[in-house]
A and B are shown apart, each in its own frame.
Chain A
Amino acid sequence: MNEIVLDEGLSQISLLTIYAAMALLALSFLISTFQLSRLATAPTEAEQSEGSVLVRVKTEVAGLEKAATAILVVATLVLGVGVILRGLAAQRVPWANMYEFAISSAWVILMIYLMSFFLKEVRFISALVSGFSLLTLGVATNAFYVEVSTVMPALQSFWLVIHVIVAVLATSFFYIGAALHITYLVKQAGWLKSAQRGTVATAKRMLDYFPTAETLDRFAYRFVIVGFVLWSFTLIAGAIWAERAWNRYWGWDTKEVWTFIIWVLYAGYLHAKATRGWSGKRAAWLGLIGFAAVVFNFTIVNLFFEGLHVYSGL
């Protein structure tokens, strides 16, 4: 095989770049949350005495939104550089251990979110996207970081490229679906709808600026179905690889078990969407449980369950 020369120096530059991206994400997150709070304090049309107040607040909010998005775009570019440098330092795809999977996922989530601007108006979940990516990168750099290393023979396969990147993509679509499900569930919450006073009422006023619950639900469904198709593909690609590497396509390894559980949960979500009495909040909860299983699969199963998918490098 070709000799691989690792570049730990380049990997350190990659890490610094990722820290820079985190700082930008934090800034974007703060601006997004500030923007949301401004929405909550904006006077309703009935309250305002002068029309100009509402216009002023709306302009200010739109400006904040633009700033948050612009910073998010820069953060995505910087993070992209960090991820690519990591790949160059290791001379392979940057998703062969938990740290790399996490940074790649954070990047892909941001890219999918930004690209979905062309199709749908989803900017209201900006804080959930920047916040989650920041959290992922924070955990990755603090808990999962490992120096660049060559991969063990079992991972030296073309399927590492396919199987894992599709898993990253599926995870990212599932996350944006989950973020939309969260906003949907908050918007549908009975205690929030009936709120008259206090902080809850303030939050309600903020949510009035969000799309309708039906729209949120529909958007979430769109992201989840793409995630589901990708997850089905990663399951099949994993089985093909397992047949090559371990002589069986399916062996109920802990990771295989959880991949199956996630698939079945999201299949349940899709059925719920077509079942009367289940298509609204219950389906949304199922979608969230599905994503919780994805997170569990990546963290707890990788770190604490015994199995063949030992690649965390920790």
Chain B
Amino acid sequence: MTSYQQSDDQLTREENEFSSGGVKLGAVGWARWFWRQLTSMRTALILLLLLAVAAVPGSVYPQRSADPNGVRLQFDENPDQAAFLDSLQLFDVYTSVWFSAIYILLFVSLIGCVVPRTQVHYRAMRSQPVKTPVNLTRMSAHQQVANPGVGTEDARQVLRQLGYRANVEGNAVSAEKGFIRETGNLIFHYSLIGLLIAVGVGGGLSYSGQRVLVEGDSFVNNLASYDSFSPGTFFEPQGLEPFTLTLDNFDVIYDLRNQANIGNPIEFRAEVTTRTETEAVSQLLRVNHPLAVPGGNIYLTGNGFAPVITVRDGQGNISFSGPVPYLPQDGNMTSLGVIKAPDSFPEQIGFISFFYPTVDLLPSGAYTSIYPDPIDPLLTMNVYVGDLGLDSGIPRNVYALDVTNMTEVAGRNADTAGLELTVGEQVSIPGGYGTVSFDGLKRYISVDIAQNPGGTWILLFSLIALAGVTVSLMVPRRRVWVRFDNEKIEVAALARGDDPRLESVVSEVIEKLKGSK
């Protein structure tokens, strides 16, 4: 009654072929045998269960696509185990050879099953309703009543009005309905093929890029402007359409009204201006409300604080100046930032810094933030001098400082404790290496700019599949017979699969027959 089901005739035919052809199989025979096995319902079932089992590890181990940091962590913490897991593609489950093998086989099996069924169904829809069985009492539902004075033609009319395809044969009328059940089932399976193609092609043409944008900053849409960019296989970077995006202002609205909820953000509002060659539009970018830009959508995915910091080196020259995006570490926005000032003399200077929007002192003597909005902001800094390692040509993470060739001059392991700055303050770096100042505070947002041209098709095929499967599960397939015998009429009905309304269908037909008189 669900997918893959073939007509009873077809099943019998296949069984006959099995039993007669089982003696000697040539190469073609084996190929046919293999194909029949692959496209059988049992194989489809086994493949479905395998697919479910094969999907499980992807929720247990971090996946490169969803959680690249988790994968990195696995390699850092337990390199041998991680390498072993990686050799089994357990960090890329959904693109792995074994997962792909299962779903490709499943789809081959699906095609091999659905195509012949379409032919069978097409013939069935064009053929006449089946011959009236001799013994109608053996049908699932059966009633016999006195003939209210109607004939076969009346019965045919009544059944046609009820949506049946009806045919008079001698003293009986044979009727069928519910072909749409199998139609829906086939449409469902074809839509799944369409869905798979849309997912594959759409994924290949898609792109997504990430960018951090501090208040006042602008972003020009080209490959070099992105902090990270992941294109699909067929994506052409020249395809990025020209526009600029400026973050004019960013506000976080906190819940100040509800005691239990104080400090929970209830809205993130990014006021942005997008400029194309022809126009400039100022809009509000919010979570769940992406903005359409040429060639994609902009999504608000994160935010944080960007303290404005100026570093002057030992010779009094400005070696760094500007806002530094800090990474939030907790719900109260304690944030971690790294500053590198490679152009400082006599030594390069690096900072590992914490930002506390509303600072408080823990009993242990450590600082913490007790509220996410900057009410009493404080910056702390550990300062390192020496070689930042930027000249070796190895790409460095901007959010990490490699201190192997550096000396700590302020901080826990130095003679001087870590530096502390409030807004507007300037302090000296111990050892005459210069000064650092905390000039102001800005917020930043992180945005994703992405497009998947397959989206519309994926949605379309999903909805068709949903409609198809609903019809195929809910619409009953019925056969009804009416036989006229002397002064009596017999009405019988048979359904494919479970049909709780079968008895009432028979009664309904009888009522209508009486009414048609």
Contact with A along B1-21 (1 / 0, CB 8 A): 111110000000000000000
Docked Cα-Cα span, A124 to B297, in Å, equals 54
The listed residue (B52, B290, B459, B470) touching A247 by CB distance below 8 A is B290
B382 on interface, CB distance cutoff 8 Å: no
Which residues of A sit under 8 angstroms from B63, Cβ to Cβ? Answer: 252
Residue contact B52 to A264, C-beta cutoff 8 Å: yes
A249 on interface, CB distance cutoff 8 Å: yes
Docked Cα-Cα span, A243 to B458, in Å, equals 12
The listed residue (A156, A221, A264, A286) touching B51 by CB distance below 8 A is A264
A177 → chain B closest CB, angstroms: 13
Residue contact B264 to A222, C-beta cutoff 8 Å: no
The listed residue (A8, A152, A305) touching B265 by CB distance below 8 A is A152
Docked Cα-Cα span, A261 to B2, in Å, equals 19
Residue contact B42 to A274, C-beta cutoff 8 Å: no
Residue contact B264 to A149, C-beta cutoff 8 Å: yes
A46 on interface, CB distance cutoff 8 Å: no
The listed residue (B199, B258, B287, B297) touching A5 by CB distance below 8 A is B258
Docked Cα-Cα span, A131 to B225, in Å, equals 59
Residue contact B65 to A251, C-beta cutoff 8 Å: yes
Docked Cα-Cα span, A149 to B263, in Å, equals 11
Residue contact A301 to B462, C-beta cutoff 8 Å: no
The listed residue (A156, A228, A257) touching B55 by CB distance below 8 A is A257
Please name the residue on chain A nearest to B290 by beta carbon: A244
Q: Tell which of A29-37, A184-192, A233-241 binds the partner.
A: A233-241
B59 on interface, CB distance cutoff 8 Å: yes
Contact with A along B48-64 (1 / 0, CB 8 A): 11011001101110110
A241 → chain B closest CB, angstroms: 8
Residue contact A4 to B45, C-beta cutoff 8 Å: no
A246 on interface, CB distance cutoff 8 Å: yes
B121 on interface, CB distance cutoff 8 Å: no
Docked Cα-Cα span, A225 to B473, in Å, equals 7
Residue contact B288 to A153, C-beta cutoff 8 Å: yes
Residue contact B59 to A153, C-beta cutoff 8 Å: no
Contact with B along A210-241 (1 / 0, CB 8 A): 00000000100110010011001100100110
Residue contact A4 to B2, C-beta cutoff 8 Å: no
Given known contacts A225-B474, A257-B59, A153 and B498 CB-to-CB distance under 8 angstroms: no
B485 on interface, CB distance cutoff 8 Å: no
Residue contact B452 to A249, C-beta cutoff 8 Å: yes
Docked Cα-Cα span, A270 to B5, in Å, equals 11
Contact with A along B223-241 (1 / 0, CB 8 A): 0000000000000000000
Residue contact B466 to A243, C-beta cutoff 8 Å: no
Docked Cα-Cα span, A147 to B462, in Å, equals 37
Given known contacts A156-B287, A245-B288, A306-B67, A273 and B2 CB-to-CB distance under 8 angstroms: yes
A254 on interface, CB distance cutoff 8 Å: yes
Residue contact B268 to A153, C-beta cutoff 8 Å: yes
Which residues of A sit under 8 angstroms from B3, Cβ to Cβ? Answer: 270-271, 274
Docked Cα-Cα span, A236 to B469, in Å, equals 14
A154 on interface, CB distance cutoff 8 Å: yes
A260 on interface, CB distance cutoff 8 Å: yes
Residue contact A1 to B266, C-beta cutoff 8 Å: yes
The listed residue (A154, A246, A264, A275) touching B41 by CB distance below 8 A is A275
A312 on interface, CB distance cutoff 8 Å: no
Which residues of B sit under 8 angstroms from A193, Cβ to Cβ? Answer: none
Given known contacts A247-B208, A268-B52, A301-B59, A150 and B266 CB-to-CB distance under 8 angstroms: yes
B188 → chain A closest CB, angstroms: 10
Which residues of A sit under 8 angstroms from B48, Cβ to Cβ? Answer: 264-265, 267-268, 271
Given known contacts A229-B470, A232-B469, A248-B208, A154 and B287 CB-to-CB distance under 8 angstroms: yes
A106 on interface, CB distance cutoff 8 Å: no
B197 on interface, CB distance cutoff 8 Å: no
Docked Cα-Cα span, A267 to B484, in Å, equals 44
Contact with A along B459-500 (1 / 0, CB 8 A): 100110110011001100000000000000000000000101
Which residues of A sit under 8 angstroms from B86, Cβ to Cβ? Answer: none
A108 on interface, CB distance cutoff 8 Å: no
Residue contact B94 to A228, C-beta cutoff 8 Å: no
Residue contact A247 to B450, C-beta cutoff 8 Å: yes
Residue contact B265 to A254, C-beta cutoff 8 Å: no
Chain B stretch 260-299: residues in CB contact (< 8 A) with chain A? 260-261, 264-268, 286-290, 297, 299
Given known contacts A247-B208, A247-B299, A261-B52, A236 and B288 CB-to-CB distance under 8 angstroms: no
Residue contact A273 to B473, C-beta cutoff 8 Å: no
Residue contact B52 to A265, C-beta cutoff 8 Å: yes
Contact with B along A62-84 (1 / 0, CB 8 A): 00000000000000000000000
Contact with A along B25-39 (1 / 0, CB 8 A): 000000000000000
Which residues of B sit under 8 angstroms from A41, Cβ to Cβ? Answer: none
Docked Cα-Cα span, A154 to B208, in Å, equals 19
B61 → chain A closest CB, angstroms: 10
A45 on interface, CB distance cutoff 8 Å: no
Residue contact A271 to B462, C-beta cutoff 8 Å: no
Residue contact B473 to A228, C-beta cutoff 8 Å: yes
A253 on interface, CB distance cutoff 8 Å: yes
B44 on interface, CB distance cutoff 8 Å: yes
A3 on interface, CB distance cutoff 8 Å: yes
B455 on interface, CB distance cutoff 8 Å: yes
Which residues of A sit under 8 angstroms from B123, Cβ to Cβ? Answer: none
B257 on interface, CB distance cutoff 8 Å: yes
Docked Cα-Cα span, A243 to B51, in Å, equals 24
Residue contact A6 to B261, C-beta cutoff 8 Å: yes
Residue contact A152 to B264, C-beta cutoff 8 Å: yes
Docked Cα-Cα span, A260 to B5, in Å, equals 23
Given known contacts A244-B288, A268-B45, A249 and B458 CB-to-CB distance under 8 angstroms: yes
Q: Offer 27 A-B interface pairs, CB within 8 angstroms, sorted by A.
A: A1-B267, A8-B259, A8-B260, A119-B500, A152-B264, A152-B265, A153-B266, A153-B287, A154-B288, A221-B498, A225-B474, A229-B469, A232-B466, A239-B462, A243-B455, A247-B208, A248-B208, A249-B455, A252-B63, A257-B58, A261-B52, A268-B45, A268-B48, A271-B4, A274-B41, A275-B42, A307-B66
Besides A156-B266, A229-B469, A257-B56, 11 other A-B contacts (C-beta < 8 A): A4-B266, A120-B500, A150-B266, A229-B470, A246-B299, A250-B199, A251-B66, A252-B58, A261-B52, A261-B56, A272-B45
Shortest beta-carbon contacts, A-B, top 9: A153-B287, A268-B48, A257-B59, A247-B450, A270-B2, A6-B258, A264-B52, A254-B59, A225-B473
